[in-house]
Structure 1
Amino acid sequence: MITSATAAELVDALRAVIRSGKAVQQHAYLHEQLPPGAVALLSLLHREGEQRLGRIAERLDVDPSVISRQVAPLERTGLVRRRPDPDDGRAGLLAVTADGARYLCAHQERWAELVATALADWAEDDAEALIGGLRRLTTDIRAVRTLVTP
């Protein structure tokens, strides 16, 4: 089991990574005209296919109202489409469009280039170890979330 001091250092390190990513995103090369989190929404729809707003919110660990706010500009720009759910006409199904898939691909390529440049002196094994650690961390944090939810 890790110590409280190590856990605090990990939290600080994760916050620094997030701040660094946001700073890079402010650069014109990666500047987004979409709301924060929209790329995660597009990525989920591209990877997993058409689904209801509530399911998307659950998968992205956010409130459904957050997804509603993100979907509106994605629909306006033609990156996402909504259609009635054939099983429940009151609900809608969201899917990424061809334009949305192209946008997502270009976005992911830009970020992959940036990360590859930043990690140019890393060994492939080190990067794979980090990926594994981050996936494990995500799984474990999601598991503990149920313990702290009121």
Structure 2
Amino acid sequence: MTADDQRTAADLLDAVGPAFGKLRRTALLEVDNPISAKDLSRTLVLNLVLEHSSHSEVTVGMIAELLGSDPSVASRMVSDTIKAGYLTRAASQQDGRRTILQLSDSGRDLMTRFRKHQRDAYDYITADWSEHDRLELARLLVRYVDSVAALKERSRTKEGDQ
């Protein structure tokens, strides 16, 4: 019996939030050939551009909204990512006065490397788990993230109805 098996349901559920908080701060930096801490923060912006550019034009304002941050913070993050060569600015095809963000070839390369790094980290961290447990956690994490996205969409729909 593991320590997790001995926790009460309430204790286990209370531990989820702090556990998520620790994930990004530690796990990805401790695997072989880590992504630099600076590039790790840049992947936040790049991931949002990748995730949303297929169905909308991504702007600095959208990045701020998606990050839940002040527009000036998002602007600094975007500017840093552009200076690093991972993002480019382009004219909007919908409104020529607006500037949108797009991944550069270097940005796509970084995200490919980052995805491999994430997978390597998962494999490393769960190396002594059973295949069933590894796949079950992966399935549940993806389901959790999908539920978070659905919750955000419901909130937007509800706000639009008011």
Please indicate, yes or no, whether the TM-score normalized by the shorter chain is above 0.5.
yes
Instruction: Structure 1: give runs of 5+ residues left out of the alignment.
Output: none
1:33 matched to 2:44: no
| TM-score, scaled relative to structure 2 | 0.67
1:130 maps to a residue whose letter is L
Cα distance, 1:25–1:128 mapped onto 2, change above 3 Å: closer
Give the conservation status (yes or no) of the 8 Å contact 1:25–1:31: no
Cα distance between partner residues in 2 of 1:92 and 1:82: 6
1:15 maps to a residue whose letter is P
Aligned residue pair count: 140
Residue 112 (structure 1) aligns with = 119
Equivalence map 1:78-89=2 (5 Å): 78-86=85-93, 87-89=95-97
Q: CA deviation at 1:143?
A: 5.9
Instruction: Structure 2: give runs of 5+ residues left out of the alignment.
Output: 1-8
Q: Secondary structure at the match of 1:78?
A: coil
Cα distance between partner residues in 1 of 2:35 and 2:152: 29
Equivalence map 1:1-150=2 (5 Å): 6=10, 10=13, 12-27=15-30, 29-34=34-39, 36=41, 38-49=42-53, 50-86=57-93, 87-89=95-97, 91-120=98-127, 121-122=129-130, 123=132, 124-137=135-148, 139-140=150-151
Greater strand share, 1 or 2? 1
Cα distance, 1:35–1:108 mapped onto 2, change above 3 Å: closer
Q: CA deviation at 1:11?
A: 5.0
Q: CA deviation at 1:134?
A: 4.2
Cα distance between partner residues in 2 of 1:136 and 1:17: 16
Cα distance between partner residues in 1 of 2:137 and 2:26: 24
Q: Percent identity?
A: 19
1:21 maps to a residue whose letter is R
Give the conservation status (yes or no) of the 8 Å contact 1:79–1:97: yes
Cα distance, 1:85–1:142 mapped onto 2, change above 3 Å: closer
